[in-house]
Chain A
Amino acid sequence: MTMTSDVATEPIGLTPAREGRLLAAEAEASLASHVRTFGALPRREPRAMLRELEASGLTGRGGAAFPAWRKLAAAAETASGRRRGRTPILIANGSEGEPLSWKDAVLLQNAPHLVVDGMLTAARAIGATNVLLMVNADALGRVERALAERPDARGIELVEAADSFISGEASAVVNAIENDDPRPTDRTARLTESGLRGRPTVVQNVETLAHVGLIARFGATWFRSLGDASDPGTRLVTVTGDVPHRGVFELPTDATLDEALAVAGADGRSASAALIGGYHGAWVPSRSFRTPLTQADLARFGAQPGAGVIHVLGDHRCGLQTTARIVAYLAGQTANQCGPCMFGLPTMAARFEGLATGSAARENAAELARLSDLVVGRGACHHPDGTIRLIRSALHVFASDVHAHAEGRCTRRPA
């Protein structure tokens, strides 16, 4: 059986059988089950497919929320323009270094064929001849078996991701493949202009590509029928922390934080805050849990939906202590390449530890604010910026805790 139908003109607009989108087929779906659920993958004409993706409004689900079609269009344009002859490369990024996220792992385990559909569709849309799929070690076996099921996936090269927080950053992905060095690189040109081996390179998160696989079948209008008007569709979220049922759930992009907690069996009343967007994210206090998880609504907290990480902090925990542990982890994940990060993050981690344990809390908080202003915007990648986003957010959202710690108290209910 082949996944690609011969009819290039198959109409767009059919809807899939079930309500859930990405995980609509059964758990650990075989190719046969996948095709039964979604139908065969139509071959879309490249320019029409790019237009459909633009109309869909699909944004990247890896964290940065960049419009998916724009990266693809930029690479296609580079390839046809002055750098003619350099055929584009497509890299599906399933390296999930974020400790609070396992949505890509769940997706690759249960719906690898949808990811492959999206890869083939995107590769065709930009004329990519090299197509790579980078996944964590745990997913290799499952993905290998899925690729072996389908002849149209023969050209896909499977690559194992490094096991570190920053190895999923796009330039680190390219560096790992090209130089076996999974650290971010200094960039003065976009990857879509000059990426892997100097060729126009598109790095897309695997969930983004799974959505592309659906849009190829059902079209932009169907995609936009759920979610926020300016950032439509659904996204996978990983809900962790003080909730009854931790796990990965698919939600419309305009779901509120309360609704995300509800699917994890929590009602938010026993929480003090939630970390949105992961270790590089920001805290939203529980009084604002009615906020939709959209880019526009989260902006006032300095947060963005990112890769769909929601970590709930019960009101028996100290937000400063939790943040201190995360900052210490992030300081340990510096690639030791860029001075401001290599020296700044461990210094900030030590200051945050002092703040969390209540030693010279006021002085440490002031120093954290100064160091954040000093280090931000000064690195080859956004690891320092993401860490500073978290620090600034904690100082703001847990301001009353900072005050209490300075007076030798802590506001949290004892466990």
Chain B
Amino acid sequence: MSTSRHVLHIDWTRCDGRGLCAEILEGALGRDDWGYPVVLRGDPEHRTDLRLRADEVTAAEEAVALCPVAALRLLRAGVG
């Protein structure tokens, strides 16, 4: 599966673990003991950004739009 040039950025200061993103991006995002999203791939020491595959970008856009606390942003990879 090809990698896109986008990452899904989680603003932990806003996120309160509603879990919609983990449903929309099942397989890429899981949930921890308290319901907060867990990036399931990549470097475990840097799990604030989810590197998106090309076929996940549309779902990620949906997750950004539906997050009730606006804790998600779609960014260009390599930022930050």
Contact = CB atoms under 8 A, between A and B. Distances in A.
Q: Do A and B bind each other?
A: yes
A385 to B, nearest CB: 7
Interface string B6-40: 00011111111100000000000000111110110
Given A185-B13, A337-B12, A373-B44, A378 B36 contact: yes
Interface of A: 184-190, 337-341, 343-344, 347, 371, 373-380, 385
Given A188-B73, A380-B11, A380-B13, A340 B44 contact: no
Contact of B17 (A339, A347, A377): A339
Nearest to B76: A188
17 contacts: A184-B13, A185-B13, A188-B75, A188-B79, A189-B79, A337-B12, A337-B13, A338-B15, A339-B12, A339-B32, A340-B34, A343-B33, A343-B36, A344-B32, A378-B32, A378-B39, A378-B47
A302 to B, nearest CB: 12
Interface residues of B, number: 26
B12 A188 contact: no
A377 B12 contact: no
A340 B9 contact: no
Given A186-B13, A190-B80, A340-B12, A377 B44 contact: yes
B48 to A, nearest CB: 7
Question: Mostly helix, strand, loop or mixed at chain A's interface?
Answer: loop
Contact of B38 (A186, A187, A378, A385): A378
B32 to A, nearest CB: 6
A376 B45 contact: yes
Given A339-B32, A339-B36, 9 more contacts: A190-B80, A338-B13, A341-B12, A374-B38, A377-B43, A377-B45, A377-B46, A380-B11, A380-B48
B34 A188 contact: no
B33 A378 contact: no
Given A187-B80, A188-B80, A189-B80, A378 B12 contact: yes
A374 B36 CA distance: 11
